[in-house]
């Protein structure tokens, strides 16, 4: 674990950064049992930064295909850049000086050279600083441009129909305002033009809230207990702000389509309460009343992403608690289940992205007082069993011979892909048990299952015991108990049909090694479509109890097939009725009694 260093200025820095207007942090709230039984994150990697990181962004800064991270460090007036690889993030991070007390950070190609650049909002010097990227993950010298008073957060986008990116700056003043700064193709920014919003704005995002093809703005206003929505004109100006109530002292805002209706919705982290507020869009640029969801402590930061790959957006929350953040599981209709704890400590910013290219989204947090970025990698959740596996009951296995196999199903219950690296025996008599084959050498995606054949060959008579550990890339490895009873020397049968013969029980196995799904990639809400699932068994024995279940947002269908002969392919025609519009990721999970299983995912565009 990285050191959690204390800074003598930390308490003052927190007061300066949060600007909570005299509101104390709420007491720690106990979160009920996890709603994320199948969502596991590996123990955090801590990336050391300079002093007091308050914002974090994820992007591929050097074009190698791996996501990198950058933090804005408020106390040390710098940004820290840590490059990513297939082994995690490089350390130590590279540090670059910027303006005084940078609190906000954005990433984008400012000068159109196809290299990503950085911009910081500098609270202490009332300006923004640009760092132009070289394309290798390094950056040139800082250039600063005057902004509004107390700049806190940034949004980078095209707001005046020009070829260059423009900048919107949320300023933490009262009355509150947003500074619009036009960019040019050199990466420079013009003088700020202020637009009135709620008091003490802390966060800003850009999205098309009224579906006119023009990006608009939303700010989280800590002093107004609201968000302000400013509709863009497309020529560099914005209309008057419309305010919508949130929880107390909103400190961050995130945007996403939470209910699949095609309109962007809002989530705010509220520093004055142990809740986040969800505001669902009701029309062009309008939002309904807030709905609050309990989190671990005062919420400081929020990010949206589909963390469990079910097609519904979830909410990751950074809180003031040193004991952890909160994860709220999305249902897909704009509501959320009970939160579960995240291993994040006092997190001033949080980001969601697939860091290791495995198809599962991960979480990064900026832990200000710890001087680290906390990296949570979405991990597989392996299970094996049920156990114990029992051999020689009621008939003992003769010493020196081999039992019929007991089949050990191994499943990935998590979101991230799982690999089985091997098997390890321990306990009193590990030498009496062995693996006689498995179909676990490929990647197991969410819901996939493989089978190992476990054998018992007692050296002597009597009760023998061992433990079997399945070695995986998960955060923990499943362990199954093994118990066998050895008996006296055998008396026939022998030969091909004997226990160890090719046609005997020890030589037979079934294995679902390939599943394909074909069918339409688009449909309409309320309509049905038929999908063809082909299931191949490359074992030397028939697979039994074969069936398929399709699940996803607004999708639930299943059908049995029965048996698939050895070396054959079975076919299931499955009719699915789509109950919700959107783009659900449908999981076709094939299971069996004795041959393992596999899952295939297919995205379907369901129109209204």
3-state secondary structure 322-336: CCCEEEECECCCCCE
Q: Residue 497: pLDDT band by 50, 70, 90 thresholds?
A: low
403: pLDDT strictly greater than 90: yes
Q: Among residues 319, 346, 378, which one ends one of the domains? A: 378
pLDDT of residue 20: 28
Domains of the chain: total: 3
Integer Rg of the chain from CA: 28
Secondary structure string (H, E, C) spanning 103-123:
EEEEEECCCCCCCCEEEEEEC
Evaluate whether residue 120 is within a structural domain.
Answer: yes
Q: Which of 231, 166, 233, 226 is nearest to 201 (CA)?
A: 226
User: Tens digits of per-residue pLDDT, 470-486?
Assistant: 999 998 999 999 999 99
Q: Is the domain of 360 the same as that of 339?
A: yes
Tell me which of 34-48, 207-221, 415-429, 513-527 is least confident. 34-48
Report residue 132 as tokens.
């132009």
Evaluate whether residue 305 is within a structural domain.
Answer: yes
* CB contact set of 347 (below 8 Å; sequence gap of 6+): 300, 301, 318, 319, 325, 365, 366, 367, 374
Q: Is the domain of 286 the same as that of 165?
A: yes
pLDDT of residue 595: 84
> For 368, which DSSP code?
G
CA distance 238 to 178: 10
Evaluate whether residue 15 is within a structural domain.
Answer: no
Q: Which residues of 307-417 form beta strands (DSSP E)?
A: 314-319, 325-328, 340-342, 347-353, 362-367, 372-376, 378-379, 382-384, 389-391, 397-398, 406-412
13: pLDDT strictly greater than 60: no
Q: Which of 198, 116, 119 is nearest to 154 (CA)?
A: 119
Evaluate whether residue 346 is within a structural domain.
Answer: yes
Q: Is the domain of 129 the same as that of 40?
A: yes
Q: What is the mean pLDDT of residues 584-595?
A: 89
Evaluate whether residue 190 is within a structural domain.
Answer: yes
Q: What is the mean pLDDT of residues 122-139?
A: 98
Q: Is the domain of 427 the same as that of 278?
A: no
308: pLDDT strictly greater than 60: yes
Q: Is the domain of 235 the same as that of 312?
A: yes
pLDDT of residue 489: 63
Q: Is the domain of 365 the same as that of 393?
A: no
Q: Is the domain of 532 the same as that of 582?
A: yes
pLDDT of residue 504: 53
Evaluate whether residue 435 is within a structural domain.
Answer: yes
Average pLDDT for the chain = 89
Give the domain extent around 321.
Answer: 26-378
CA distance 220 to 249: 8
Q: What is the mean pLDDT of residues 212-236?
A: 96
Instruction: Find out whether 412 and 440 touch, Cβ atoms under 8 Å.
Output: no
Report residue 394 as tokens.
């009621």
pLDDT of residue 39: 83
pLDDT of residue 91: 81
pLDDT of residue 73: 98
Q: What is the CATH number of the domain that holds 534?
A: 2.60.40.10
pTM of the model: 0.79
Q: Is the domain of 222 the same as that of 303?
A: yes
Report residue 470 as tokens.
């399945």
Instruction: Find out whether 81 and 96 touch, Cβ atoms under 8 Å.
Output: yes
Q: Among residues 449, 484, 507, which one ends one of the domains? A: 507
Q: Is the domain of 483 the same as that of 562?
A: no
Residue 230 to residues 194, 256, 509, 550, Cα–Cα distance (Å): 12, 17, 65, 42
Evaluate whether residue 20 is within a structural domain.
Answer: no
pLDDT of residue 15: 25
Q: What is the mean pLDDT of residues 256-265?
A: 97
6: pLDDT strictly greater than 80: no
> For 597, which DSSP code?
B
Q: Is the domain of 523 the same as that of 447?
A: no
pLDDT of residue 129: 99
pLDDT of residue 28: 23
Evaluate whether residue 17 is within a structural domain.
Answer: no
Tell me which of 264-268, 507-511, 582-586 is least confident. 507-511
Q: Is the domain of 301 the same as that of 417?
A: no
Q: Residue 400: pLDDT band by 50, 70, 90 thresholds?
A: confident
Q: Is the domain of 155 the same as that of 243?
A: yes
Percent of the chain with pLDDT over 90: 79
CA distance 486 to 455: 12
Q: What is the mean pLDDT of residues 357-370?
A: 94
Report residue 191 as tokens.
């003088």
- Concatenated DSSP letters for 192-220? -EEEEESSSEEEEEEE-SSSSSS-EEEEE
CA distance 49 to 283: 42
């Amino acid at each position: 674990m990285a050191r959690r260093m204390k800074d003598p200025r930390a308490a003052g820095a927190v007061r300066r950064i949060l600007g909570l207007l005299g509101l104390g942090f709420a007491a720690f709230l106990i979160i009920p049992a996890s709603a994320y039984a199948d969502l596991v994150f590996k123990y955090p990697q801590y990336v050391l930064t300079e002093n007091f990181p308050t914002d974090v962004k994820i992007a591929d800064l050097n074009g190698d295909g791996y996501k990198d991270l950058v933090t804005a460090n408020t106390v040390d007036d710098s940004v820290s850049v840590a490059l990513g690889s297939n082994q995690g993030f490089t350390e130590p991070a590279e540090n670059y000086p910027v303006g005084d007390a940078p609190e906000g950070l954005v990433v984008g190609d400012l000068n159109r050279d196809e290299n990503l650049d950085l911009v910081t909002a500098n609270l202490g010097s009332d300006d923004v600083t640009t760092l132009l990227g070289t394309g290798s993950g390094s950056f040139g010298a800082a250039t600063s441009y005057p902004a509004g008073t107390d700049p806190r957060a940034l949004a980078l986008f095209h707001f005046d129909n020009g070829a260059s990116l423009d900048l919107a700056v949320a300023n933490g003043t009262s009355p509150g305002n947003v500074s619009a700064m036009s960019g040019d193709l050199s990466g420079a920014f013009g003088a700020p033009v202020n637009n009135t919003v709620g008091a003490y704005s802390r966060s800003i995002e850009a999205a098309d809230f009224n579906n006119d093809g023009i990006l608009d703005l939303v700010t989280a206003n800590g002093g107004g207990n609201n968000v302000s929505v400013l509709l863009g004109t497309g020529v560099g100006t914005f209309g008057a702000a419309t305010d919508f109530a949130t929880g107390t002292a909103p400190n961050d805002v995130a945007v996403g389509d939470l209910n699949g209706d095609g309109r962007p919705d809002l989530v705010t982290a509220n520093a004055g309460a142990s809740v986040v507020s969800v505001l669902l869009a009701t029309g062009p640029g309008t939002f309904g009343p807030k709905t609050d969801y309990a989190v671990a402590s005062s919420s400081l930061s929020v990010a949206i992403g589909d963390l469990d790959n079910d097609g519904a957006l979830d909410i990751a929350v950074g809180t003031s608690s040193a004991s952890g953040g909160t994860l709220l599981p999305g249902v897909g209709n704009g509501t959320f289940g009970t939160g579960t704890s995240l291993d994040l400590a006092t997190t001033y910013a949080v980001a969601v992205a697939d860091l290791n290219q495995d198809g599962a989204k991960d979480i990064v947090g900026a832990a200000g007082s710890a001087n680290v970025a906390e990296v949570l990698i979405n991990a597989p959740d392996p299970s094996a069993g049920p156990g114990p596996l029992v051999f020689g009951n009621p008939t003992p296995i003769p010493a020196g011979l081999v039992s019929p196999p007991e089949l050990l199903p191994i499943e990935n219950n998590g979101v991230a892909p799982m690999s089985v690296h091997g098997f390890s025996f321990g306990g009193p008599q590990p030498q009496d048990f062995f693996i006689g084959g498995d179909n676990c050498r490929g990647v197991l995606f969410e819901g996939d299952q493989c089978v190992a054949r476990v054998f018992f060959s007692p050296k002597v008579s009597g009760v023998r015991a061992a433990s079997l550990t399945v070695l995986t890339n998960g955060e923990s490895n499943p362990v199954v108990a093994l118990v066998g009873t050895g008996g006296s020397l055998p008396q026939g049968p022998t030969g091909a049909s004997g226990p160890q013969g090719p046609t005997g029980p020890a030589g037979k196995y079934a294995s679902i090694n390939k599943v394909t799904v074909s069918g339409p990639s688009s449909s309409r809400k309320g309509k049905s479509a038929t999908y063809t699932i082909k299931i191949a068994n490359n074992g030397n024995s028939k697979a039994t109890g074969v069936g398929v279940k399709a699940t996803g947002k607004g999708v639930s269908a299943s059908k049995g097939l029965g048996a698939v002969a050895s070396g054959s392919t079975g076919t299931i025609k499955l009719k699915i009725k789509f109950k919700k519009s959107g783009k659900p990721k449908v999981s076709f999970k094939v299971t069996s009694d004795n041959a393992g299983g596999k899952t295939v995912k297919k995205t379907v565009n369901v129109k209204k």
